[in-house]
Amino acid sequence: MLKTPLLDRVDTPADLRALDKKDLVQLAGELRAEIIDAVSITGGHLGAGLGVVELTTAIHYVFNTPDDKLIWDVGHQAYPHKILTGRRHRIRTLRQGGGLSGFTKRSESEFDPFGAAHSSTSISAGLGMAVARDLEGGNNKVICVIGDGAMSAGMAYEAMNNAGHLKSRLIVILNDNDMSIAPPVGAMSAYLSRLISGRTYLGIREMGKRVAEKLPQSLQVAAKRAEEYARGFWTGGTLFEEMGFYYVGPIDGHNLDHLLPVLENVRDSIYNGPILVHVVTKKGRGYAPAETAADKMHGVSKFDVLTGTQVKPKSVTPSYTKVFADSLITEARHDKKIVAITAAMPSGTGLDLFQKEFPDRTFDVGIAEQHAVTFAAGLATEGYKPVCAIYSTFLQRAYDQVVHDVAIQNLPVRFALDRAGLVGADGATHAGSFDITYLSCLPNFVLMAAADERELQHMTATLAAYNEGPIALRYPRGEGTGLMLQERGTVLEVGKGRILREGTKVALLSYGARLQECLKAADQLGAQGLSVTVADARFAKPLDEGLVKQLATHHEALITIEDGAVGGFGSHVLQSLAQQGLLDLGLKIRSMVLPDVFIDHDTQLRQYEQAGLAAADIVTQTLEAIGISGASRTTIRAMMGA
């Protein structure tokens, strides 16, 4: 049983601020232990949260949250923040159905002024809040915490550039947890940071400005630059100064004696304009297994607290991500023009495996999806075969580049969209719900969706071989279905689907990973005496119109099934049927898509049940389409053993 006497007294930041400063080190230790214990039960993001325990404690102690707005970039480091803001009693429900989100979420707490799960949005959002405050004549503080990884995205610099221009009071805390920017921090750095953030220095600085204003213009500029570069020499902050920020740091993010006075100085600063506080932290801090792990235990399943050993169910089939990576490696061995691109997700997309074999043909561009796509377009113009492996939800960030730089120019860029469909514990922010819709409307694109791991092999081979224009392949999160894999995939005929079962009454036309549910539904319908055809479209674009016509003219009802939003595959089937006049003949047609809501975190199984895309839902939809009503989804699920 954890002993947390100080943490037990803290339900909100107001309780935290009632503590004596000398108690904060102990409180931080108790908070760290609580996070480790909670995440060992729930799984989730561990290393990032451990790295900001002292920083979180200091911010809530110094600033008057929630009146002062605190924005966490990405949000996966916000577990200590959640514990200190009234959510400790629910912290062991993290990422579970009906429980706390793994990220910040406005509907969850007044202490979460901005929801985030994609990176590099905090400065833009915070600047918006700061400007709104200024327009209202308010005086509250706005604090954005952004990691050095998120600073690899252009959006962060766009926001900083605008903040420097607007000169609104905004505090940005750069959480440098990889030592990628700062030199080692120590007593001298801490002293200088405290000095230059204090009123005395700023008062002298303002006096110096007034004196300089009496000088000729050329000398004014020279004096200003001399002061900025003098501070930049000691602190490394010249880049931020050039963007209009007053730079403070670097300081040790685990030393409360350093953090508290600097944050207090920044809070009370007479400086009118944006301030950047550079804090150096260590991911996984205070938990030895995390500190020594290569990934600092960034994302973990349930684990043993004493050893850090994660409890992972033994996999009998490879994940779709690994099947894709292995298949791409196979293709790359046969074609030296194939190169792979990831946007800071090498392990998540499987390209870490590709990189081991082809280090010179693998490019991690950082959290910069826009750049990744146009970079790939440039490679394609020179005869290379770039494969952009990007989660479906993250490709949304580069949509203009997909349209303008790839599609319009008909460049053969290949897109491998991992995490297509619903993704489980990461929830709505990471769900690949929209790619079928947002890509299928673009001229020149070929769209494929893998129904199983063997199809993924074939489609990866097709992706590599296709050179007529842009092509995209989507596949789900999780493990395959257990099919025997081939040594190498077979290139498919573009735009041709396949029939798996032949029937006469009803046709189920699947696009993507719901095919297994269609087969289960067909079994149940067959048990009720209905003859069912099951087909796999394989391609949403170009659509196999011959297959669609065959299914429409030889069956009483046609049901399309996809794990994407409205406007995708089913809409294209309906358009094709209308254009061919096949809707005029009494065909009963239904499109099963994701509902028009954002589905919260839960298991993938439960999410698809909520979405109405499980086998029982397909059975119910089919029976209703042909006029047989009665059995509810609950009854059908019970009959099917779901």
pLDDT of residue 628: 87
Q: Would residue 274 be called left, alpha or beta, if left means φ above 0 and alpha means ψ between -120 and 50 degrees?
A: beta
- What are residue 248's DSSP bridge partners? 277
32 is catalytic: no
Under 8 Å between Cβ of 602 and 424 = yes
- The pLDDT value given to residue 621: 96
Instruction: Please tell me the distance from the alpha carbon of residue 209 to that of residue 205, in angstroms, as a whole number.
Output: 6
For 186, other C-beta atoms within 10 Å of its C-beta total 10
Nearest one of 629, 610, 611 to 619, comparing CA atoms: 629
**Amino acid in position 90:** R
Of 69, 95, 397, 520, the active-site residue reads 397
In 320-411, the DSSP E strands lie at: 338-342, 362-364, 385-389
Q: Which residues pair with 476 in a beta bridge?
A: 420
| Residue 296 pLDDT level (bands cut at 50, 70, 90) | confident
Cis peptide before 5 (omega within 30 of 0): no
- Given a contact cutoff of 8 angstroms between Cβ atoms, the answer to whether 387 and 463 are in contact is yes
Distance of CA 308 to the CA centre of its chain: 25
**Average pLDDT of the segment spanning 173-190:** 57
Residue 375: what are its φ and ψ, rounded to 5°?
Answer: -60, -45
Task: Please say if the pLDDT value at position 163 is more than 70.
Answer: yes
Q: Which two tokens stand for residue 425?
A: 């514990």
Q: Does 340 have pLDDT greater than 70?
A: yes
Render the burial of 69-99: b for 16+ CB within 10 Å, e for the rest. Answer: bbbbbbbbbbbbbbbbbbbbebbbbbbbeeb
Would residue 369 show up in a list of annotated catalytic residues for this protein? yes
Q: What percent of the chain has pLDDT over 90?
A: 80
Q: Are the beta carbons of 58 and 260 closer than 8 angstroms?
A: yes
Look at residue 642 and tell me whether its pLDDT is greater than 70: no
Strands 44-45 and 299-300: antiparallel
Question: In whole angstroms, what separates CA 337 from the centre of its chain?
Answer: 29
Distance of alpha carbon 60 from alpha carbon 66, whole angstroms: 9
Q: How confident is the model at residue 183 (pLDDT cuts 50, 70, 90)?
A: very low
Q: How confident is the model at residue 217 (pLDDT cuts 50, 70, 90)?
A: low
- Which segments of 269-365 does DSSP mark as H helices, in order? 288-292, 320-334, 346-349, 351-357
What are φ and ψ of residue 479, in 5° steps?
A: -95, 160
Q: What b-and-e string marks burial along 350-364, b requiring 16 or more CB atoms within 10 Å of the CB?
A: bbebbbeebeebbbb
Which of 150-154, 196-200, 290-294, 430-434 bottoms out in mean pLDDT, i.e. has the lowest? Answer: 196-200
Determine if the peptide bond prior to 250 is cis (ω within 30°). yes
Q: Report the relative pairing of strands 414-420 and 471-476 from DSSP bridges.
A: parallel
Q: Please identify which of the residues 369, 453, 517, 562 carries the catalytic annotation.
A: 369
Place of tokens 């327009």: 135
What are 39-88's pLDDT values in tens digits?
A: 999 999 999 999 999 999 999 999 999 999 999 998 899 999 999 999 99
Provide the β-strand partners of residue 447: 472, 541
Neighbours of 194 (CB within 10 A): 18
In this prediction, residues 18-27 reach a mean pLDDT of 97
Q: Fill in the DSSP letter of residue 85.
A: I
Of residues 87, 283, 285, 454, which has the active-site annotation? 283
Cα torsion angle, 449, 379, 343, 396, sign: negative
Mean pLDDT, residues 229-248: 68
Instruction: Give yes or no for a cis peptide into 13 (omega within 30° of 0).
Output: no
* Residue 531, CA atoms < 13 Å, CB-side half-sphere: 7
The whole-number pLDDT of residue 579 equals 95
Summarised one tens digit per residue, pLDDT across range 593-611 is 999 999 999 999 999 999 9
Tokens of 218: 């050329």
- Which sign does the torsion angle of CA 105, 111, 114, 119 carry? negative
**Residue holding tokens 């349209």?**
403
Q: 95 with 43: CB under 8 angstroms?
A: yes
pLDDT at residue 55, as a whole number: 97
Question: 447-471: per-residue pLDDT in tens?
Answer: 999 999 999 999 999 999 999 999 9
Closest CA to 56 of 36, 39, 70, 42: 70
Read off the amino acid at residue 8. Answer: D
Answer whether residue 261 shows pLDDT above 50. Answer: yes
Helix (H, G, I), strand (E, B) or coil at 501: strand
pLDDT band, residue 184 (cuts 50/70/90): very low
C-beta separation of 156 from 168 below 8 A: no
My answer on whether omega of the bond before 66 falls inside 30° of 0, hence cis, is yes
Taking the C-alpha atoms of residue 66 and residue 274, their distance in angstroms, rounded to an integer, is 20
541 in catalytic set:
no
pLDDT value, residue 415: 98
User: Using CA atoms, how far apart are residues 354 and 375, in angstroms rounded to an integer?
Assistant: 19
Q: What is the CA radius of gyration of the chain?
A: 28
Strands 539-541 and 446-449: antiparallel
Rounded to the nearest 10 degrees, the angle between the axes of helix 24-42 and helix 256-267 is 100
Average pLDDT taken over every residue of the chain: 90
Residue 57 CA to residue 2 CA, distance in Å, equals 19
pLDDT at 249: 82
Measured CA to CA in angstroms, residue 85 lies from 70, 82, 90, 112 at distances of 12, 5, 11, 9
Look at the chain and count its residues.
642
Q: What is the pLDDT of residue 243?
A: 86
Q: Does the structure show a pLDDT above 70 at 204?
A: no
